[in-house]
């Protein structure tokens, strides 16, 4: 039987996932080849280092991990660099620290998600208010600014699941990651001659498959659909795998999105979370 992962291994997997996402060309997002949206790669590197400890702290609940990691990231950068990443990675980190390889990461994750309570909600809502993500709207039920009537975090995620993909991940035990993205990443890594190109392919596959809800919140669904269709039109540049020949058209796509202020931030969050999940699974085998 393999023991649950130690906190230092979970922190290392988190930092590695954040760095791998930053190294790859990912149109629309900040990466090693291009800054954007008023942020530099250094902001994300500092945020990852700051968040790694709280994310992996076995003494903290999911909600406290989200809040402490967001506070640490904001203190390090003064910006909302990784709220979505933290929201997705905190439950994964807790699951990895509590389960054996025999039980399975996703099975434990499902148990953890279903038991998220009102304190988790209060902590997560506090983190969201601190980060103040762009395009955060006001809704009638479960609004993060008005929690006079306590609600559990999983109940809040159910209310938001139709309009937010991170919330949808909570209520589907991360189906987009385990059923869709991890197989894509595995296949891409098997044929890539550069690990960064595998991450590029993962990013573009997400863009071509799902509407980015960060873009929807800021600019509306038509803008998100345009990005999805443009990603699909570039399929020959990234499928079955991106390569050196892909750089030209993907850099042009990157510049076009950034010039329009279109930041597929939710896609970036899922890329990091997928890399994190893959890293946790790999570390359980070593």
Any residues with CB less than 8 A from the CB of 204 and at least 6 apart, and which? 27, 231, 234, 235, 237, 238, 239, 242, 250
% of the chain beyond a pLDDT of 90: 78
Q: What is the pLDDT of residue 2?
A: 66
Residue 164's CB is within 10 A of a number of other CB atoms, namely 19
**DSSP assignment of 163-208, as one string?**
T-HHHHHHHTTSHIIIIIIHHHHHHHHHH-SSHHHHHHHHHHHHHH
Q: What is the pLDDT of residue 40?
A: 74
Residues in the chain with pLDDT values less than 70: 1-2, 35-39, 100-103, 133-149, 284-286
pLDDT tens-digit profile of 137-157?
343 344 444 444 579 999 999
Distance CA 33, CA 235 (A): 21
Distance CA 98, CA 33 (A): 37
Q: What is the pLDDT of residue 176?
A: 97
Task: Write down all domains in the chain, each with its CATH number in brackets.
Answer: 7-284 (1.10.4200.10)
pLDDT tens-digit profile of 55-81?
999 999 999 999 999 999 999 988 888
Q: What is the pLDDT of residue 103?
A: 60
Q: What is the DSSP letter of 28?
A: T
SS3 of residue 31 by DSSP? strand
Tokens standing for residue 241: 């795998």
């Amino acid at each position: 039987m393999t023991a649950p992962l130690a906190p230092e291994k979970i922190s290392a997997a988190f930092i590695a996932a954040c760095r791998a996402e930053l190294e790859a060309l990912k149109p629309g997002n900040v990466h090693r080849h291009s800054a954007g949206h008023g942020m530099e790669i250094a902001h994300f590197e500092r945020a990852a280092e700051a968040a790694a400890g709280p994310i992996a702290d076995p003494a903290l609940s999911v909600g406290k991990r989200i809040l402490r990691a967001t506070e640490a990231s904001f203190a390090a950068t003064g910006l909302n660099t990784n709220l979505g990443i933290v929201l997705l990675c905190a439950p994964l980190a807790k699951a990895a620290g509590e389960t054996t390889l025999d039980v399975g990461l996703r099975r434990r994750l499902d148990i953890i998600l279903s038991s998220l309570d009102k304190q988790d909600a209060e902590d997560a809502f506090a983190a969201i208010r601190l980060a103040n993500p762009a395009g955060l709207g006001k809704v009638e039920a479960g609004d993060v600014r008005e929690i006079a009537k306590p609600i559990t975090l999983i109940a809040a995620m159910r209310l938001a699941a139709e309009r937010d993909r991170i919330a949808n991940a909570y209520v589907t035990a991360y189906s987009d990651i385990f059923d869709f993205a991890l197989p894509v990443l595995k296949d891409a890594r098997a044929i890539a001659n550069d690990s960064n190109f595998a991450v590029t392919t993962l990013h573009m596959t997400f863009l071509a498959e799902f509407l980015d809800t960060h873009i929807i919140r800021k600019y509306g669904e038509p803008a998100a659909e345009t990005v999805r269709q443009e990603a699909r039109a570039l399929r020959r540049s990234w499928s079955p795998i991106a390569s050196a020949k892909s750089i030209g058209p993907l850099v042009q796509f990157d510049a076009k999105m950034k010039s329009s202020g279109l930041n597929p931030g939710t896609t970036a969050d899922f890329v990091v979370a997928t890399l994190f999940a893959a890293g946790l699974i790999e570390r359980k085998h070593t």
